[in-house]
Amino acid sequence: MSTKINASMSLAKPDSQAISKTQKIAVALGVVGLFIMALALFNVEFPNKTLFLSLSLGLITIGTIVFSNDAYLNKQAGIKNDGVWFKSITSMGLWGWVLGIVLTLFYIVLYFKAEWFGLAADGGANGGLVALFDPLSRLLNGGPASQWFVYGTLYTVAILIFGYKFMLKYRHNRYEQLRTISVMFFQLAFAFLIPEFMARLNSETFSLPYYDLKNIWPLNYYNFDKYRVDSMIEAGDIGLAFLIFGIVSIFVISPILTYKYGKRWYCSWVCGCGGLAETAGDPFRHLSDKTQFAWKVERWVVHSVVVFVTLMTTAVIYSYLGHDSSKYWLTKDIFLLGVAGLLTLVFALVMIFKRKELAKDAKYGAIGYFVIIMVLIGMHYFSGTKDVFLVNTNFLKSSYGFLIGAIFSGVIGVGFYPIFGNRVWCRFGCPMAAVLGFQQRLFSRFRITTNGGQCISCGNCSTYCEMGIDVRAYAQKGENIVRSSCVGCGICSAVCPRGVLKLENDSMKGRINSNDILLGNDVDLMDLVNQK
């Protein structure tokens, strides 16, 4: 199925896309709020920054609330996708491109030229947009704002206000409501407030790195960098607890939760990237590419990122460990052996127990990558150079940070929402999603169940799948959907006009049922065709 865009069939564009008077006023309020920020960006000195920052964020918030109320509360609860493909902003029209370009530029400046936002040079005072956020920053963490504080605040505000909009849009759907409350909470508390308060506790003698506790490696690829680990160890019991929590969440907490609920527990209930995608990004979910080709690209790219982040993290940790086991038990050698051992164990278990469930290419990919890692580690052992895997570790780290951390997750991931859909990062780039997806595919009770023979192949589910899964291809065969990329957002089930799809946690047995013929037929025919 191609998602090629055709011009609307009508000469006069259908008018359902027109917005009401109230909505126009709401847009105006929001634009005024944004304009205050634009003025700050151009170094307009506001007499009272607290007032103007409040005004700016307040107007944006009120504008969005008024707009949402008018858009949804005047209508009966139900699916609200009318005119999605007619509106310029949601169908890759002019406004979509404008928004995409503005967001992309924002990210480029944020990551590479933060001084243009007014970030202070060493020791100086902030100017421009960053200075506008100083009062809020001082209130929360006691210090002046940084570009990351500005970004964090805007990010949180976006999740909250568009979360509100999303909740009105799906006010008939309790799954969507609870899920949205959850991402709003985790963003506000875990990603925004708690780290800021933690920063307030830092002193000369006690210091913890910025730590969003729900941000787990490998999404949080820098979690085990030397400065962070050192600082956590130096911070005593609390720091050590954080460090241990970071490791436990990778190896214990997330596998258990993923087994019980699928990766949705993280990707669409907790994660900040997912949070933004599900709220501010929701109007663009249908733009994801559903072709088989895109799926192929997805599998190669996202798993390459997993390999990359594993190599990079191993290299980074390896680089600061010592050789002498009498000083500290964890030496370079023991660490490398540990990594190799763990990978081998995972690989062996998958090959022994789940070989049949893997599609051919996934198996080849796993074998190929596994061999590469083993060869690289082996080469290190026998060459004995200073660098790991024959490459300089700092180079590995900075390339990962630049390519994946900045370009992929930020510039492409969010900047391109209006062009490629809202989950480009989660689908093609996020190593965390890939690791959880691997578990979900092979070892989880989660699946999307299809309802017998009720599917009419209409395609709403596939169209609105933000991960680009061709849900219909399964539903029309009466087959459960067990896909590693599914983040469990529940929208396929919501938009289905025939009640065919249901997200469920059930037993592992019979989870993957491949049917050629659906319920409704003569029982003998079903048995005949499906028995293979």
Q: Which residues bind other proteins (CB under 8 A)?
A: 1-6, 9-17, 76-79, 81-87, 172-175, 178, 291-292, 449, 451-454, 456-460, 462-463, 472-473, 476, 490, 493-495, 497-499, 502-504, 516-525, 528-529
**Nearer CB in complex with other proteins: 368/520:** 520
Quote the least distance from Cβ 497 to other proteins, whole Å.
Answer: 4
**Nearer CB in complex with other proteins: 16/205:** 16
Contact 371, 364 (CB under 8 A): no
Quote the least distance from Cβ 422 to other proteins, whole Å.
Answer: 17
Look at residue 519 and give its three-state secondary structure: strand
**Nearer CB in complex with other proteins: 384/510:** 510
HSE-CB for 350 with a 13 A CA cutoff: 21
**Nearer CB in complex with other proteins: 48/291:** 291
Contact 287, 5 (CB under 8 A): no
Contact 184, 159 (CB under 8 A): yes
Quote the least distance from Cβ 91 to other proteins, whole Å.
Answer: 9
**Nearer CB in complex with other proteins: 64/460:** 460
HSE-CB for 380 with a 13 A CA cutoff: 22
Quote the least distance from Cβ 67 to other proteins, whole Å.
Answer: 19
**Nearer CB in complex with other proteins: 44/529:** 529
**Nearer CB in complex with other proteins: 208/467:** 467
Quote the least distance from Cβ 166 to other proteins, whole Å.
Answer: 16
**Nearer CB in complex with other proteins: 6/326:** 6
Quote the least distance from Cβ 450 to other proteins, whole Å.
Answer: 9
Quote the least distance from Cβ 267 to other proteins, whole Å.
Answer: 16
Contact 475, 501 (CB under 8 A): yes
- In DSSP terms, which residues pair with 504 in a beta bridge? 447
Q: Which H or E run contains 455?
A: none
Give the list of residues 6+ apart from residue 411 with CB closer than 8 angstroms, or none. Answer: 104, 107, 108, 111
Q: Which amino acid is at 365?
A: G
- The torsion defined by the Cα of 168, 173, 179 and 180, in degrees rounded to 10, comes to 0
Return d(Cα 335, Cα 340) in angstroms, integer. Answer: 9
Concatenating the DSSP letter of every residue in 114-157 gives GGGGTPPPTTS---HHHHHTHHHHHHHHSS---HHHHHHHHHHH
**Nearest to residue 310, comparing CAs of 258, 285, 346?**
346
**Nearer CB in complex with other proteins: 321/473:** 473
Q: Measured at the alpha carbon of residue 144, what is the angle toward residues 141 and 145, in degrees to the nearest 5?
A: 90
Quote the least distance from Cβ 517 to other proteins, whole Å.
Answer: 6
Quote the least distance from Cβ 532 to other proteins, whole Å.
Answer: 10
Return d(Cα 65, Cα 329) in angstroms, integer. Answer: 56
Contact 115, 105 (CB under 8 A): no
Phi, psi (rounded to 5 degrees) for 353: -100, -25
